[in-house]
Amino acid sequence: MTFTTMLTTMSAGMVKTCSIFFLTLLFSLPLGFFVAFGRMSRCRPLQWVVKIYIAIMRGTPLMLQLLVWYFGPFYLFGWSIKGYRFTAILLGFSLNYAAYFAEIYRSGIESMPVGQYEAAQVLGYGRAQTFLRIILPQVIKRILPAVTNEVITLVKDTSLAFTLAYQEVFSLAKQISASQRSFMPFLIAGVFYFIANYAVAFAMERTEKAFAYFR
């Protein structure tokens, strides 16, 4: 296999890696807010359910969670899992990262001074208005570094999709390296991951600068 063919094949795998990355963010970022609100809820049963969910997601390996999501429906209910691989990957990644994002959101929200809520109430703001117009912009500014770290980790964690034999860039690198007895596929995969992480870091840095007026 020539270098050009190798690069073309792995580029197709990188497209699949990017699809996992972007769709995971699309689902996990908003879901994390709902989980965070459940974690901070005054309803004790809901709070405990969310606590257990977060503990499981953060306390077990993501690789194991992917295997459970993929093989669970078949072993537990006898359902066919044909064509279910990508759905299982998205479920595993999204629910796992939503738990981490939820804790980041919670720490940001709870760090806000109580006086800001009281001042907003005096000015006649409702709870939703207070959160959306006053609290949320400041929370976003505070949590961006932590969110950036998680997003960069997600870029690298997409390689765990190889557990379910999904043909993303890392899986292809392993296959091509084994068949061609070459280390080059791993170098190409490393360059792809580095470029993706650099792009994420650059985008998040620009976002932080956009919120700099809250200092």
Alpha helices (H) in 60-167, listed in sequence order: 62-77, 85-110, 114-122, 127-129, 136-157
CATH code of 3-214, in short, is 1.10.3720.10
How confident is the model at residue 106, as a pLDDT?
A: 93
Query: Which residues, at least 6 apart from 100, have a Cβ–Cβ distance to it below 8 Å?
Result: 32, 57, 58, 150
User: Taking the model in full, what pTM does it have?
Assistant: 0.90
Whether residue 159 contacts residue 63, with contact meaning beta carbons closer than 8 Å, is answered with no
- In angstroms, what CA-CA distances link 19 with 78, 89, 112, 125, 169? 29, 11, 35, 40, 11
**Cβ distance 179 to 98 under 8 Å?**
no
* Residue that is written with structure tokens 């390996």 in the block: 61
pLDDT tens figures, 82-131: 888 999 999 999 999 999 999 999 999 888 888 878 788 877 788 788 88
pLDDT at 68: 94
The closest alpha carbon to 58, from 37, 39, 81, 77, belongs to 39
Token pair, residue 45, equals 């049963």
pLDDT at 213: 59
* Cα–Cα distance measured from residue 63 to residue 40, given in angstroms and rounded to the nearest whole number: 28
What's residue 208's pLDDT?
A: 82
Q: Which residues of the chain have pLDDT under 50?
A: 214
- Report the pLDDT value the prediction gives residue 202, as an integer from 0 to 100: 92
pLDDT at 49: 95
Q: Nearest 5 degrees, angle CA 52-CA 88-CA 12? A: 135
